[in-house]
Homo-oligomer: A and B are copies of this chain.
């Protein structure tokens, strides 16, 4: 007979119910035994995989999507005797918990509770694998920023400016000796050089536990964790595992992390730089994800030069690295139309001053690209690569921000949050003008217009929407982060502008905002 447990654990809706159980520790518990759990509430019934956490302990996690009493039943070959069953209660959400982010329409996101989510993302590829001190600093920086999404990897990164050993490794074993690594020879270590000794059937639970701690820290800050599951920048061999090893890894990761409401899945960073993986492989990982992540977290895959086929049904949103040296945010319109899914620009060149051309635009250009993309209804992402004596570059390591663009995103986010509805949609009132303008993305027209003039410097503009409504007009300096109210207008009207770059104009029916 099953052991019966009545959990006293306080679980809120979209929180995590976790239970740890002793089980068989002989052989290789990661592969020899399985643990599953069935959760039944009034409104949902879900079966999830548990996972082995080392030292004879198995764990099961579950994210309830409703309040009320849940029953659970845990079973599988893991148990020395029987499994167990029990109940627990799900309470209302605490402040700041809006549930997982979902795709709300063909363009925008919203939290599950309906609150619109305007992604302002950043990238710190391996911030969780740096020193404890640096990780804490990164969290402090994030706390003070506008960022509400961060992309980062499970595996460590081997690349220029990334020669150090990680905080921990995902597997049992020992890494290749990196004491002779320099900028000049690092390419020779790519892939799986002699000297790596890993058992890809034995995970290092500490590595994942730490990852989860950081996902939880991000959750506490209201930041989505866009987890990059695979990537090509590798000297340890993690990018060259077999099909079976890959699948084991995917299942283990999903069993551990999918109960975190702020998780997004990025199948890869630059999938197309991993020739060892075929499209069939990516599709197989996606099918594992769709089966094992019972919560349907957001899923996408990020490219280097060749965009993945985002029409695939498992792809919830586009995750694009810019594919043109000049255009990034400008292409959102094209991608929106083509894919009919939200467009997240997960690389639009990083603000910085390194020699590599994906990391050396100034803050002004970064902020311009954000606005260009955002006004088109897309969600540009940030990264930062300023050279530093201590070799700490935000883009990979986190730390502090040195650039001038991030604080401008606070202003953009404020403007987005003030937009009625789910988000913006580029609209052409008159194709001849080349004015970039957004209205509210909704079925019912909303008298709200957001113009963005980018590098253009008009000294005035003339507007006409209708003869009836009274419109409030505001000039937004997206660089200086100021809003200047110009008064109210009706009919055809002229607005004086400051004849400088990076100006937006917001016009809406009086009283709308």
Q: Which residues of B contact A387 (CB under 8 A)?
A: 459
Pair B330/A459 contact, Cβ less than 8 Å:
no
* B354–A458 CB distance below 8 A: yes
Of A74-82, A250-258, A360-368, the stretch lying at the interface with chain B is A360-368
Q: Is A417 an interface residue (CB 8 A)?
A: no
List, in ascending order, chain B residues with CB within 8 A of A288's CB. Answer: none
Interface string of A41-55 (1 = CB under 8 A from B): 000000000000000
Given A362-B501, A434-B325, answer yes or no on A355-B461 (Cβ-Cβ < 8 Å). Answer: yes
Q: Mark A331-353, 1 if CB is under 8 A from B, else 0.
A: 00000000000000000000011
Q: Are A365 and B326 in contact, with the CB atoms below 8 A?
A: no
Check: A167 CB closer than 8 A to any chain B CB: no
Given contacts A325-B434, A326-B326, A327-B326, contact A459 B355 (CB under 8 A): yes
CA distance A325 to B299 in the complex (A): 33
Closest CB-CB distance, A367 to chain B, in whole Å? 12
**In the complex, which of the residues A327, A433, A455, A462 has the most CB atoms of chain B within 10 Å of its own CB atom?**
A455
Residues of B near A356 (CB, < 8 A) are: 433
- Write the A422-435 contact mask toward B (1 if CB under 8 angstroms, else 0): 00000000000111
- Chain B residues contacting A330 (CB-CB under 8 Å) are 325-326
The digit string for A314-326, where 1 denotes a CB below 8 A from any CB of B, is 0000000000011
Known interface pairs A455-B365, A501-B362; A357-B327 also in contact (CB < 8 Å): no
In the bound complex, residues from chain B placing their C-beta under 8 Å from that of A325 are 330, 434, 436
CA distance A475 to B500 in the complex (A): 29
What is the total number of copies of this protein in its complex?
Answer: 2
Please state if B361 and A457 are interface contacts (CB–CB under 8 Å): yes
Q: Are A434 and B361 in contact (CB under 8 A)?
A: no
Are A355 and B434 in contact, CB atoms less than 8 angstroms apart?
no
Classify chain A's interface size: 20 to 34
* A457 and B360 form a contact (CB under 8 A): yes
Are B357 and A457 touching (Cβ within 8 A)? no
Please determine whether A353 and B434 come into contact, CB atoms closer than 8 angstroms. Answer: no
Q: Is the CB of B326 within 8 A of A458?
A: no
**Smallest distance from the beta carbon of A493 to chain B beta carbons, Å?**
12
Q: Would you call A355 and B455 a contact (CB within 8 A)?
A: no
Across the interface, name the chain B residue whose C-beta is closest to A436: B325
How far does the alpha carbon of A462 sit from the alpha carbon of B183 in the complex, in Å? 12
A499 within 8 A of B: yes
* Chain A, range 358-393, C-beta contacts under 8 Å to B: 358, 360-362, 365, 387
* Nearest Cβ on chain B to A433's Cβ, whole angstroms: 6
User: Nearest 9 A-B pairs (CB), nearest first?
Assistant: A353-B459, A353-B499, A357-B434, A325-B434, A360-B456, A360-B458, A355-B458, A355-B461, A365-B455
Pairs A–B under 8 Å by Cβ, sample size 27 = A325-B436, A326-B326, A326-B327, A327-B327, A353-B457, A353-B458, A353-B459, A354-B459, A355-B458, A355-B461, A355-B462, A356-B433, A357-B434, A357-B435, A357-B458, A358-B434, A360-B453, A360-B457, A360-B458, A360-B459, A360-B499, A361-B455, A362-B455, A362-B457, A362-B500, A362-B501, A365-B455
